[in-house]
Amino acid sequence: MGAPPWAIWALLLLHQAARVLANTEGDALHSLRTNLNDPNNVLQSWDPTLVNPCTWFHVTCNNDNSVIRVDLGNAALFGTLVPQLGQLKNLQYLELYSNNISGTIPSELGNLTNLISLDLYLNNFTGPIPDSLGNLLKLRFLRLNNNSLSGTIPKSLTAITALQVLDLSNNKLSGEVPSTGSFSLFTPISFGNNPALCGPGTSKPCSGAPPFSPPPPYNPPTPEQSPGSSSSSTGAIAGGVAAGAALLFAIPAIGFAYWRRRKPQEHFFDVPAEEDPEVHLGQLKRFSLRELQVATDTFSNKNILGRGGFGKVYKGRLTDGTLVAVKRLKEERTPGGELQFQTEVEMISMAVHRNLLRLRGFCMTPTERLLVYPYMVNGSVASRLRGERIAQGEKVGDVGGSRPTDQLH
């Protein structure tokens, strides 16, 4: 028995709608291609005669043949962007980092309401950050650093509550840094090297803030002889003595309270994950837990590179695009564990061997111990040791249980 006529018509309409969508998106991407110079022929497969752009390299589509990713990072492209990019309604990832693209950021990018990641860093963009980007409420990664963007930071961006990574550093932005909404979570690193920025997240107060002025000095009135002057003088002296005595006791108390408050920060190695991410141990970077959660997609199982007796190793991507291997150590709550972990990190960082990966950094919170290494394409212990085995009896990086290969990932 054949399908009813209405079902056939419905299928034909859906097919035609998919073709129209594909054509619209293909036209938009072809407009981008014509506006870019491509010395390495990265866009050679972007053939406008093809009905579906999903067959083009560096373009990813969903099951409905709608474009969801454009990956053109580090492709040596130069030219300008086109407003037609705003027609890619289902786009989730727009990766154009590390090119030589110039001009302004089209305000039409604010129409990409399904966008999760917008990476335009390391280009030559100029002009303001479009206020329309505040419409991208699903955006999690916004990296516009290392351009020549100017003007103020749009306050509309603070409404993007999903935002996890923000980098506007190394631009020519000016004005006050917003401090509300999602911007309350970001550190000065996100806004660094923008000399004209002021306010929260910078070391420069805004000019509109009232300057501090000390109270005027006290000038005692000229004493006048009167019947009550003697008793007034006596009362003033007594009050001064009492105040002096109170101050004498208050100063040690205040000093002791300040010392008690400072002591945990001076002697306890851990700091909150979101604070002071630039703390270093020697030449090592101290990563915040948030950085590594974002890099590994919250330690997703799909990013696991390997497992061992000391924990799991995850593949991660830092905000600058660098790939790393993050070793998440199993937690063993022992007395002095913080100091022991610090000592082990110091020893690992000093160890040098042909089979030992150089430690890049670490992260430590009350509940997490993580080590960050450079990512190796064939980075398992077995592959590192397949060519040359560590000579018997030779100890390298012998920390935490005399296991030299535990420092590999």
Cα–Cα distance, 60 to 69 (Å, whole number): 5
Cα–Cα distance, 203 to 402 (Å, whole number): 45
**Angular region, 98: left φ>0, alpha ψ -120 to 50, beta rest:** left
Cα–Cα distance, 362 to 342 (Å, whole number): 10
Beta-ladder partners of 178: none
Sheet holding 172-176, edge to edge: 36-37, 78-80, 100-103, 124-127, 148-151, 172-176, 196-198
327 is in an annotated binding site: yes
**Angular region, 103: left φ>0, alpha ψ -120 to 50, beta rest:** left
Beta-ladder partners of 315: 325
Cα–Cα distance, 159 to 136 (Å, whole number): 9
Distances (CA, A) of 32 to 26, 29, 171: 10, 5, 24
Closest CA to 345 of 275, 270, 273, 272: 270
* Dihedral angle, C-alpha 237, 238, 240, 244, nearest 10 °: 140
Residues at the binding site are: 327
Residues at the binding site for ATP are: 327
